[in-house]
């Protein structure tokens, strides 16, 4: 199988590339323009496979995308490229509109033109998989049932609104033009190689370096977490066996409050690398909540688990400990990022 994958140097995209290279014989064309959060290091050994090719193109560039389809001749598309940091979307929404909406539209148009010209057998087997977020569903209150594939959309931030718009475009291209699309919505991902402005790496690195750990409000906001390698496996299952027109809600069934996540990270670090100044919880600083901060996300993955024969392998505590250890063992990577573009003062998007 030949897969045109967008955003393959991002956090989730690189995990998908690693999985595809190590566990399948599929070929990949990775379209990633290498924005601030992209890292070719995150591909690890996967980037050296002859079945893997990278082009540093913009998904909103119609000419470049048309050329990618025409030259690579994909059997599948996995669309992960997106701007994803909520705080950055509040500060500067234009980039999110351009990448998440215009970029998705451009990719859909190129895919549609390409698909229409395929021979009957290849047209029948072609799939366009759009990877999205649970944030498009809005926020849950305490006691509300978890999101499912049937939950109505209610985005609250420029980021989630731009992703909701892209989801609607993808489904419209299916219903209007017949393009065989699949949508998946997932929860908060964590694991190795995540850019340091997200909650778990931010807390880990600030705690490690003795910097204040900022937490929005009182920290009671809740997020549902999934280890990125588990999510990557689910996405590959979807592109191989998903049904066109269907949506798959992907989760590991592991909701946690933000303050519990922060305290858990501090406890892991205190055990692995005790600080002479004492337990790292003293670094926690509660700060003013951000505008429109969603209280709770949680996804019920029952349908996806049954349809795909898949279930997340990592429990949160084990995955979190592995993640913290990874950052301890890869200081050169994140120190370079912090030195060049990030100082640790920006809050994580899920904080």
* 3-class SS of residue 324: helix
159 tagged catalytic: yes
Q: Is residue 321 part of a domain?
A: no
Report whether 194 contacts 337 (CB < 8 A). Answer: no
pLDDT tens column, 234-264: 999 999 999 999 999 999 999 999 999 999 9
Report whether 61 contacts 37 (CB < 8 A). Answer: no
Number of domains forming the structure of the chain: 1
Residue of 290 and 297 predicted with greater confidence: 297
Domain that holds residue 172: 2-193+228-254+294-315
Report whether 306 contacts 237 (CB < 8 A). Answer: no
Q: Is residue 275 part of a domain?
A: no
pLDDT classification of 344: cutoffs 50, 70, 90: low
pLDDT confidence of residue 347: 54
Which among 105, 114, 159, 227 is annotated as catalytic?
A: 159
Give the contacts of 311 (CB within 8 A, at least 6 positions apart): 305
pLDDT classification of 179: cutoffs 50, 70, 90: very high
pLDDT confidence of residue 340: 79
pLDDT tens column, 82-117: 998 888 898 999 999 999 999 999 999 999 999 999
Q: Is residue 331 part of a domain?
A: no
Which tokens in the block code for residue 349?
Answer: 């998007």
pLDDT tens column, 136-175: 999 999 999 999 999 999 999 999 999 999 999 999 999 9
Q: Is residue 270 part of a domain?
A: no
Which among 32, 58, 83, 135 is annotated as catalytic?
A: 135
135 tagged catalytic: yes
pLDDT tens column, 261-278: 999 999 999 999 999 999
CB-CB neighbours of 306 under 10 Å: 10
Q: Is residue 334 part of a domain?
A: no
70 tagged catalytic: no
| Residue ranges of E strands in the chain | 2-6, 27-31, 52-55, 76-79, 127-133, 181-186, 188-190, 213-216, 222-227, 247-250, 255-257, 284-287
Q: Is residue 342 part of a domain?
A: no
Q: State mean pLDDT over 130-140.
A: 97
Q: Is residue 74 part of a domain?
A: yes
Which among 58, 83, 87, 134 is annotated as catalytic?
A: 134
Q: Is residue 276 part of a domain?
A: no
Question: CATH number for the domain including 65?
Answer: 3.40.50.720
């Amino acid at each position: 199988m030949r897969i045109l994958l967008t955003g393959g140097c991002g956090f989730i995209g690189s995990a998908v590339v690693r999985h595809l290279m190590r566990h399948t014989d599929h070929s990949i064309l990775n379209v990633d323009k290498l924005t601030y959060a992209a890292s070719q290091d995150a591909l690890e050994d996967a980037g050296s496979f002859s079945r893997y090719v990278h082009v540093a193109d913009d998904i909103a560039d119609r000419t470049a995308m048309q050329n990618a389809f025409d030259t690579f001749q994909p059997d599948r598309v996995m669309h992960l490229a997106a701007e994803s940091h909520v705080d950055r979307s509040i500060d500067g929404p234009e980039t999110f509109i351009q990448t998440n909406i215009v970029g998705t539209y451009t990719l859909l148009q190129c895919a549609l033109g390409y698909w229409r010209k395929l021979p009957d057998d290849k047209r029948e087997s072609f799939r366009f998989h759009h990877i999205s977020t649970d944030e498009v569903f809005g926020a849950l209150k305490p006691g509300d049932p978890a999101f499912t594939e049937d939950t109505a959309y209610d985005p609250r931030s420029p980021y989630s609104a731009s992703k909701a718009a892209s989801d609607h475009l993808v489904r419209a291209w299916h219903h209007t033009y017949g393009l065989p699309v699949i949508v998946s919505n997932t929860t908060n991902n964590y694991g190795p190689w995540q850019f340091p402005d997200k909650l778990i790496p931010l807390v880990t690195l600030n705690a490690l370096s003795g910097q204040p750990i900022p937490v929005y409000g009182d920290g009671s906001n809740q997020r549902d977490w999934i280890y990125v390698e588990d999510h990557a496996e689910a996405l590959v299952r979807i592109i191989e066996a998903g049904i066109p027109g269907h949506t798959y809600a992907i989760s590991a069934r592991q909701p946690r409050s933000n303050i519990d996540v922060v305290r858990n990270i501090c406890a892991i670090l205190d055990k692995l690398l005790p600080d002479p100044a004492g337990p790292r919880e003293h670094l926690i600083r509660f700060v003013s909540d951000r505008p429109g901060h969603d209280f709770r996300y949680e996804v019920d993955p029952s349908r996806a688990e049954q349809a795909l024969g898949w279930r997340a392998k990592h429990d949160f505590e084990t995955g979190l400990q592995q993640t913290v250890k990874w950052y301890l063992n890869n200081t050169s990577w994140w120190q370079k990022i912090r030195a060049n573009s990030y100082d640790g003062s920006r809050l994580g998007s899920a904080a």
